[in-house]
Structure 1
Amino acid sequence: MRAFDAVGRHMSFTAGAQALTVTQSAMSRHIGTLEDLIGKPLFERGPSGLKLTAAGKTLLPVVNKSLDRMEFALNGIRDEQIETRPLRVHIPPSLLYQNAITLLRDFHAEHPDIRIDVLTSNVTGEPRTDVDMAIVFDRPRVDDKVADLLRLVRVAPLCSPATAATAADKSLEHFLRDGELLHVKLEGEPRCLLWSAYADQQRLDIDTAGGMAFDTAISAARYAMVATGVVLADIDMFAQEIAAGRLVMPYDRVSADGFGYYLKTNVEDLADPAIVLFRDWIIRHFRDRPLDASSL
């Protein structure tokens, strides 16, 4: 397993052997033994180098994580500091800063013995970093992870009170045509994706190409509060700003665009009591109370 882990990390038998200070032939024998054991090849060997097979792609992250946990446990026993390792949890930045900080505080108050390392990155779907659990912003997908729907996103045009005042006697279509659309960019998608989807659902004939774009919803919403733009934003995420009047929803035209927040967990990690506890806790709290700042 160490040999497979080393070769998989470096995608090279030579570099893997150097990392473990063994010969390349020894690495090849270990990989061959593992492939014989499972009855499937783990690497494709070609002129452009090594590539993981489907079996290799499935096995490598499990081996990486298992070896890391074994090392953590062995080090703790050796140093006579037996304790649980921290859970690495990913949360998208806007959800984290707007809503989940208080949720994490409440979990820590109830379970102070469970340590959590919080990571955030602005990606659509799963993060690229190795984590134990991830709350992701995405559309429904079928993959090898356990996916728990926390809530579907509801969006509507939001703006400052001054901008909302210009909506008097205007239709929503006219209001959006006259205003500046603020975009929240999604990784790998056109900058106007969300506004275009909203316009199609609401049957609005508007130009969605122009306007300023931001990489997080919280940045776009903050800009809308102090400028003249209109942001298509999650009304649950910004419930506190709406309640306080800092953001205004001048038209009751709420739409669900298919995106939502999902908790993604590796199947094999459901044997970890800390992961199961955190998963059950956060699903229950999303179910029992809306995750908006006014309810936290």
Structure 2
Amino acid sequence: MGGKGSAFPRPDAADAARLPEAAEPDGGRVWLPLNALRAFEAVGGRLSFTGAAAALHISQSALSRHVGRLEEYLGCRLLDRRAQGMALTAAGAALLPVVADSFDRIEETMKMLRRDPGHAGRVLKIHMPPTFLHVAGLTLLAEFRRAFPGLPIDVSSSNGIGLPAGRSVDLAVVFDRPHLGDAIRDPLWMVSQTPACTPEIAARAEGLDLAEFLRSTELLHVKLEGEPYSTFWSVYARHNGLDIGVQRGLAFESEVLAVQCAVAGGGVTLVDPDMFAADIAGGRLVTPFPDTTCASGFGYYLTVHPDDMVDPAVALFRSWVVRRYTQAPSDDPV
């Protein structure tokens, strides 16, 4: 299929003949129909034979034959061809992201080798929320790099609950509620919360009960994507039976920013007393009502897709981090 110089290499007759085969004769890796998989990725991603054929510079009929052979090889339909349009079947929806991610990784590695043929390694892509990265992640990454200096790491960071949207990462530390899902999630840190402020503001708490103090002080909030900005203060007030009017104050994109505002005397924020132990020990923050500490309902989880666990670099980082947290004392964030 396709002439000389085509972006989509033409399979020979043996290629089509081998599609039904389950494995190589020597019993090694299962033979993969790469051209057919590439054709399916192009069609499935666009839900259009016309668009896929134009992108791959081949004919629609050739593209259709490849997808059909792949469906025959798998024994199931991948695409529903309807009069009103095309749709992925359940099998197609399961296969498409795996195929796309695999081709992305192959392409990335090949580009890296073309830039530096002497470097046969890979870059491990890790995502961490800003607060975790600032308080614990930077130290964690520095220790890992000292232990394994030959593995390049690309670190990204963004706010939000759960896995970062629209990002291709190997592992992610996510901020989320406990729940079951397809990903492997290792709990690293379950977040508790207690009011924290400067010593000067805390001095106002003398002679006041908790509710009176909070009603008279600016509340500093941490925003969560898809949640009311007062989520954490609402949980804290409900746990302690307080009526303090949480719909007020300043809201920030991350806990680090809220803490910096609190250190500057801007008000009172909720912190995990262990995660921000250094600020408390250094006197920049105090927790005037430590007995009111409660669980936030959220935690930090190291998250990886099960299919990625066959990657030695992913498995290495996961086992190292889990072991590091398992062995760490309870008052040490990393």
Considering the TM-score relative to the shorter chain, is it more than 0.5?
yes
* Equivalence map 1:260-275=2 (5 Å): 260-275=299-314
Quick one: structure 1 residues 281 and 258, their matched pair in 2 at CA, closer, same or farther if it must change by over 3 Å? same
Q: For structure 1, which segment, 116-125 or 25-34, has the greater mean C-alpha deviation from structure 2 after superposition?
A: 25-34
Q: Deviations over 1:161-216 (max 9, x none)?
A: 21111111111111111112111111011111111111111111221111111111
SS of structure 1 residue aligned to 2:61: helix
SS of structure 1 residue aligned to 2:139: helix
Q: For structure 1, which segment, 229-238 or 139-148, has the greater mean C-alpha deviation from structure 2 after superposition?
A: 229-238
Alpha-carbon contact 2:171-2:303 (below 8 Å) kept? yes
Query: Aligned to 1:145, which of 160, 183, 191?
Result: 183
Query: Aligned to 1:94, which of 88, 112, 131?
Result: 131
What residue number does 1:190 align with? 228
Query: Aligned to 2:206, which of 161, 168, 184?
Result: 168
Counterpart-to-counterpart distance in 2, 1:101 and 1:200:
34
Alpha-carbon contact 2:220-2:267 (below 8 Å) kept? yes
Query: Aligned to 1:16, which of 28, 52, 56?
Result: 52
SS of structure 2 residue aligned to 1:166: helix
What residue number does 2:161 align with? 124
Give how far 1:152 is off. 0.7
1:203 aligns with 2:267: no
What residue number does 2:11 align with? none
* Equivalence map 1:210-225=2 (5 Å): 210-225=248-263
Counterpart-to-counterpart distance in 2, 1:43 and 1:173:
60
Alpha-carbon contact 1:179-1:228 (below 8 Å) kept? no
Alpha-carbon contact 2:274-2:333 (below 8 Å) kept? no
Counterpart-to-counterpart distance in 2, 1:93 and 1:59:
33
Q: Deviations over 1:245-282 (max 9, x none)?
A: 11111111211122111111111111111111100111
Query: Aligned to 1:27, which of 63, 68, 89?
Result: 63
**Which ranges in structure 1 are unaligned for 5 or more consecutive residues?**
none
Q: Deviations over 1:91-111 (max 9, x none)?
A: 111111222111101100110
Give how far 1:9 is off. 3.8
What residue number does 2:22 align with? none
SS of structure 2 residue aligned to 1:259: strand
Q: TM-score, length-normalised on structure 1?
A: 0.90
Give how far 1:49 is off. 5.4
Give how far 1:289 is off. 1.9
What residue number does 1:281 align with? 320
SS of structure 1 residue aligned to 2:205: coil
The amino acid of 2:63's aligned partner reads M
Alpha-carbon contact 1:99-1:291 (below 8 Å) kept? no
Question: Matched residues, percent identical?
Answer: 46
Q: TM-score, length-normalised on structure 2?
A: 0.81
Question: Bigger radius of gyration, 1 or 2?
Answer: 2
Aligned length: 295
Considering only aligned residues, what root-mean-square deviation do their CA atoms show, in Å? Answer: 2.4
Alpha-carbon contact 2:215-2:244 (below 8 Å) kept? yes
1:177 aligns with 2:215: yes
Alpha-carbon contact 1:42-1:54 (below 8 Å) kept? yes
Quick one: structure 1 residues 151 and 23, their matched pair in 2 at CA, closer, same or farther if it must change by over 3 Å? same
**Which ranges in structure 2 are unaligned for 5 or more consecutive residues?**
1-36
Query: Aligned to 2:293, which of 242, 254, 279?
Result: 254
Q: Whose RCO is larger (CA < 8 A, sep 6+)?
A: 1
